[in-house]
Each structure stands twice: as C-alpha cells, then as structure tokens.
A and B are shown apart, each in its own frame.
Chain A
Amino acid sequence: MILLVFILFFAFIGFGFDYFYLQNLTSPSYIEIKKPFIPYGTIIALIIAALLTINAFINGINMIVEATGARTPNETNLKEIQLLNVVGEMSLAAGIPMPKVYIVPDRDLNAFATGFSPQKAYVFVTEGLLNELNREELQAVVAHEISHIRFYDIRLMTLIVTLMNTIAMISDFIARSSRRTSYSSSRSRKSSGGEAILFFIWVILLILSPIVSRILAMAISRQREYLADAGAAELTRNPKALISALEKIRQAVSPTRSMKDSVAYLCITDPRGSYIEEKTGFWAELFATHPPMEKRILALKLMAYEKAN
C-alpha cells in the first residue's frame, strides 16, 4: 500500500521532471510538441541509480565485511558453534539454504541480514549479542533476520533505495542546472491553467522530495520490521524468547558504530541507537527505521497471549 504511494510519488516527480523541465530545455521554442511523450530523463536516471545500487549490492558484501571488521565464526568456541547451529535450525524451519554467518567484533547488541536472494544471503551478529543472549533468545533474533531473508525484504529495500537515489539525483540535477539557467525564463511557454497548477504542485513536491521519500521509505521499513517479528515468532513458535531478547537489546541501546546507515533497515534494532527509537507518537516515528521497542514487544505479547489461549 505504502509502496504504491511511493511508486506514484516517484512517477510524479519523474514525469514532471521530463515534462516541465527537460522538454523546455531541449525545445525552448513556442512550438507545441506533438510526438508521443516518453520520459527519457526519468528512465536514464532510474537506470543509473539501479546500476549504482546493484553494484553496491554485488560488491557490498566485501565492503560491509571490511567496514565492520567482521570475521567468520570460530569452530572451537562453543558460543560461536551455537550460533552456527541456531542459524542452521532457523534456515531449516524456513526451508531456505543456510546463509553465510559473520561475527562483528562490537560490544553492542545488534544483528542484520543482507544479500540479494535467499540462496545467497548473509547474517551478521555482533559479539555483544552472542555474549548477552541465551540460546533461545539468540534463536529468536536469528529467526527475525531469516524472516527478512525469506520475505525478500532485502530485495524490497534495494528497490526502495534505488527509487530514493533516483529522486535525489533528479532534484540534485535540477538544483545544479537551474543555478546556471534562470528557471523562469525557460518556462515562457504558454500553458493552460490546469498545467500551471500541476507545475506548482510539482515544484513544491520536488523541494520536499528528499524528506517525503525518506518518510515513505521509513514507513515501509517499519512495516517490514513488524512482519519480520511475526515471522520470527512463526518460525520458533516462541514469541516469548524474542520479547526477552528485545528487552535485553533495548537496555543496551547505544550506537553500533561498526554498522552504517545503509544497512539500518535490516538490523534487529536501529544501529544509530537514536532516542527517536524510544519515543512513541506520530512525529517521532515518522523518521525512524524501526517501530518503537515498546510497540514491537506489545505486538509480540499479543501473539504469545493468543497462542496460550
């Protein structure tokens, strides 16, 4: 639903870009163009953004491994064997191949998943998480990450990041080029009243576009978090373990410095450790990647309650 709004928003910005802006640049004459309207500019911007994002994903794994200093689990450490076993259990429960496991040497409690398909996915867990959680809680957190993988959230967030980047590129392009050419002079074409209103709306949306696209993307991200929580409960049949894991993670709310913003969508909790996370209410939630812990725990408690009855 929100995704649809996002795509419509994207289309409006893109078509507006081509219709109002590029067309005026390329044909500043008063002749009305009759040929079928093809949004070249948007398509080109989309292709560039898609290539950039796909490239980030293909080379991204090595970059993430390097940036976080992640290592593969040590097969002589009991706790790390346990992690491997738990990931194996959860991928069996989800019916997907076992993802590759990495351990991030960070004392903060966090975990995230990435990869382009369930066949080639990666799960990252911090050392802090390994040390603080017991087996059941670890299983619940891994189940949350596996759910992100099996629901194709990774791919969805790739798509959204691509759209966000395209919008950013278009508005950036306009901002830069309109400094050189006076904007109003290129808009000398006679236009009908309806078109003028549309143009006005488009300019306003364009100015707001970085904020709007971020709000929409965050809304999608939060929705997927609830879904992954529910998916974790479905896999483990044990919502209580995830509740206690989330309680522990919440208490240790401090920034996970080794994780960048770009993977924030796929973490178990926001790595920025922002205080936004803890506030409920419309405005506070608007820019958060994750719903407030309180709400997530409440939703899980409801699940546990329903299961008990």
Chain B
Amino acid sequence: MIVFGIIVGVIILWLILTFNSLISLRNMVKNAFAQIDVQLKRRHDLIPNLVNAVKGAMKFEQETLQKIMEARAKAINAFQAGNIKEGFANENILTQALGRLFALREAYPELKSNQQVSQLMEELTTTENKISFARQFYNDITTKYNTKIQLFPNNLIASMLGFKEFDLFELPKESPEKEAPKVDLSLQS
C-alpha cells in the first residue's frame, strides 16, 4: 500500500514538473514568434521611406524598387488575410530583393554620403539582421520544444495535454534572386 502510494506520488510529481516545463517552453516559442512579427512590421514601415529616399538617385534600378514594393504589399495582404504561408513566402522574396538593393547601393556614391539614406539603410540593415536572428532563436527554441515533447516518456502525455509540434522556418534553397547582382561601375562617372 505504501509502495503504491509512493509510485502514484512520483507519477503525479513528474506530471506537474513536465507540464510546467512544457508550458514555459511553449510560451518562449510563442514569444520568439512574436518577436519575428514585430521585426517584420518594422520592415514594412521602413521600406516606403527608404524607397522614396533613394528613388531619385537610383534611376536605373526602378525594377528592383518596384519588386520590393510589390513583395511588401503582397506580404502585408497575405498576413491580413490570415494566409501565413504565402505571407512568409513573400517575406523571403522581400529579403532577397532588399539584399540586392544593399549591394547596388555601393555603386551610388551620392547615396553613400547622404546622411539620411545612411541612417535609413542602417535601420533597415538592423531590421533585416533582427529578422534573421529572431528566426534563428525561434528555430533553436522550437527544436528544443519539439524534441522535448517527442522524447519518451513525455510523448505519452504531450498530445493528451494538447502540446503540438511547431514548424521551423526554412529558407528557400534555390532561387534566381540569390545570384550576386551585376553592378555596372561605369555609372559612377
């Protein structure tokens, strides 16, 4: 009888500890996801300002600028419609188009010396970095969470208590946009 009581006690204790640690881990995952969201919104706010600031100088890159504005609009619409997957697909296109813009900037000395553009560029650079670091942290913490609910004996109770796995972020491997942009240096003169 005493042995039985001890066993039940240990099981209840284990249940409480596992449940609590899963809850706190899941909240960390949710918070990490919210951080990505914050940075994406920041990016959407910054892009129109930057495009307006560089539009005049970058006459020959209208196509790139156009693409950036399009991807931004599509991403915002998709998120508003609740289509998360399409939204992130467009965010990835946006990331690549912005990377191209950063590379092209080197070819425009008047942009490099412009204080306002430099500040906007720095803001956008840090936002881009924050997006990728927030994703990195999200992936790390989500992997930890997913592993925890898959391991024995946690897997026996995880699904019963309503803990589901979360998806990781994956960046598209093959993409034509990833090629290094060709910059015509003769524009400088």
Contacts and interface: CB of A to CB of B under 8 A. Distances in A.
B118 A88 contact: no
Contacts of B141: 95
B136 A86 contact: no
Interface string A71-102: 00000001001100110111011110000000
Interface string B88-123: 000000000000000000000000000100110011
Nearest to B141: A95
B40 interface: no
Most chain B CB atoms below 10 A, which of A85, A92, A94:
A92
B106 to A, nearest CB: 14
A85 B35 contact: no
A88 B126 contact: yes
A81 B116 CA distance: 13
Chain B binding surface SS class: helix
Interface residues of A, number: 16
Contact of B136 (A78, A88, A93, A139): A93
B134 A92 contact: yes
Interface in A124-163: 135, 139
B118 A78 contact: yes
A92 B28 contact: no
A112 B126 CA distance: 22
A237 interface: yes
A85 B28 contact: no
Given A89-B133, A237-B136, A95 B126 contact: no
A92 B138 CA distance: 10
A195 B42 CA distance: 71
Interface string B46-57: 000000000000
A81 B130 contact: no
Contact of B137 (A78, A95, A139): A95
A93 B28 CA distance: 13
Given A95-B28, A95-B32, A90 B133 contact: yes
A93 B131 CA distance: 10
A85 B123 CA distance: 8
A88 to B, nearest CB: 7
A139 B126 CA distance: 11
A93 B126 contact: no
Nearest to A236: B133
Contacts of A82: 122, 126
A93 B132 CA distance: 9
B133 A93 contact: yes
Interface string B14-47: 0000000000000010001001000100000000
A82 B133 CA distance: 16
A81 B137 contact: no
Interface in B112-159: 115, 118-119, 122-123, 125-126, 129-130, 133-134, 136-137, 140-141
Interface of B: 28, 32, 35, 39, 115, 118-119, 122-123, 125-126, 129-130, 133-134, 136-137, 140-141
Return the 6 tightest CB-CB contacts between A and B, nearest first: A85-B126, A93-B133, A89-B129, A92-B133, A95-B137, A92-B134
11 contacts: A78-B115, A78-B118, A82-B122, A82-B126, A85-B122, A85-B126, A86-B126, A89-B126, A89-B130, A93-B133, A139-B129
Given A78-B119, A88-B130, A92-B134, 17 more contacts: A78-B122, A81-B122, A85-B125, A89-B126, A89-B129, A89-B130, A89-B133, A90-B133, A92-B39, A92-B130, A92-B137, A93-B134, A95-B28, A95-B32, A95-B137, A135-B125, A237-B136
